[in-house]
Amino acid sequence: MEKAIIIGAGPAGLTAAIYLSRDGFNPLVITGAEPGGQLMFTTKVENYPGFDQGIKGPELMRSVIRQAQRFGARLVNEEVEGVEFLDGPPFKIKTGQRVYEAQGVIVATGSKPRLLGLESEKRLLGRGVSVCAVCDGAFFKNKKVAVVGGGDSAMEEALVLSRFAAKIYLIHRRDEFRASKVMVDRALSSEKIEVVYNSEVKEVLGDNQVAGVRIFNNKTRVESTLGVSGVFLALGRIPATDIFKGQLEMDEKGYLLVRQGRQSSVPGVFVAGDVGDCRYRQAVVAAGQGCMSALELERFLKES
Amino acid sequence: MITLIDFYADWCPPCQMMGPVLEEVERELNGEIEFRKVNVDEERDLAQKFMVMGIPTFVIMKDGQELDRRSGAIPKEEFKKWIKGYLERE
């Protein structure tokens, strides 16, 4: 049995790992598919203390991973499929490969991109459907694409794509944007970006690659088709808490409820980072909560 | 012999995450399959021929035929299991 298992390897999970490993608790970090977390997808980070000239997100996170490993934290690149916390400790954590047991757990799974929830979207992921304009934008040189969403991230994706694509339809289900005014102005000033208001994507079309989207205008009640070869989803993020349903208490949006001392609804299971934070969502906050939950976990283990 | 083609770019975050995963899986499968890395910036034509529209994309090939493909970051053991599934059908 492990003393401490950390689920997630962003700033929260890795900071917890640094503390726990330095203090001799030999933590195991189950990283999931994306060790390093969201900062791996950013360019320059300028508000993380200690880097007066800014630092690239991936560079920062690779350094944090090495820092945790230096003190003996073990990282396994597996995805958690389910947990049994209610009768713990020992707390059981099941990945695709094995079942781990731990005396204490820190949940730091962060968030994931919100999807439309269509079968066609899932089938065509990587075949024209994308959640990462920075990664995939270059494949759509001189092509028509759609961006779905209405927040800052949608504006940003559309602007990134305007460097490559011939035309960008910005599909939004309302008649005004949630995004900040400065981002909306920037996006709307691009001649390549055309806004399609009051419209919901009902289907992504295409067999082996995206050929278009079927949209429904919720004002006029008319359905139509847009011919595009790429669909970029920018619908914001949701907490990665599916695996904790029925095990840990969460709010109506799926964020884990956090009690005094970073504790979840189960004693011995602690929460750090965006998975329990819909308010700040900052790397430095996540790191701070990672530290707090590590210290609380140490106290829990000593007292039990 | 099965070939796994990895379409990637140096600047793509999920590709960077998959870098060490690929190295480990290649070592663990120890010559059972052939690994081929394709930098999409350098081999644009090949990426186009395979209709790659997102990276990383992993394509499993046998005798010039595509058997399967997946895109995005995949946890190591799942990735290995996916490839092994095709090895066992050999």
A249 against B89, higher pLDDT: A249
Whole-model pTM: value is 0.87
* Sequence-separated (6 or more) residues with CB below 8 Å from residue A153: A234, A236
User: Is A274 one of the annotated active-site residues of the chain?
Assistant: no
Q: How confident is the model at residue B90 (pLDDT cuts 50, 70, 90)?
A: low
Range of the domain at A251: 2-113+237-303
For chain A, the domain total comes to: 2
| Residue A63 and residue A123 in one domain | no
| Residue A9 and residue A97 in one domain | yes
∠ CA A202-A180-A152, nearest 5°, is: 45
Interface of A with B in 178-217 (CB under 8 A): 208-210
Q: Is the pLDDT of residue A269 over 90?
A: yes
Q: Is the pLDDT of residue B89 over 80?
A: no
Give the strand pairing for A237-239 and A111-113: antiparallel
Complete domains list, chain B, with CATH: 2-88 (3.40.30.10)
Residue at a domain's end among A233, A265, A285: A233
Cβ <8 Å between B57 and A126: yes
| Residue A109 and residue A243 in one domain | yes
Cβ <8 Å between B51 and A140: no
Residue at a domain's end among A185, A211, A233: A233
| Residue A135 and residue A153 in one domain | yes
Q: What pLDDT was estimated at residue B74?
A: 92
Mean pLDDT score of chain A, rounded to an integer? Answer: 95
Cβ <8 Å between B14 and A58: no
A37 touches chain B (CB under 8 A): no
A16 against A41, higher pLDDT: A16
| Residue A14 and residue A108 in one domain | yes
Strands (E), B26-85: 34-39, 57-62, 65-71
| Residue A98 and residue A157 in one domain | no
| Residue A177 and residue A31 in one domain | no
| Residue A132 and residue A205 in one domain | yes
Closest approach of B40 to chain A, Cα-based (Å) = 9
| Residue A141 and residue A226 in one domain | yes
Residue A66 belongs to a domain with what CATH number?
3.50.50.60
Residue at a domain's end among A203, A233, A263: A233
| Residue A294 and residue A223 in one domain | no
Residues of B within an 8 Å Cβ radius of A = 9, 12-17, 21, 40, 47, 51-55, 57, 69-78, 81
User: Which chain A residues are within 8 Å of B78, Cβ to Cβ?
Assistant: 33, 78-79, 96
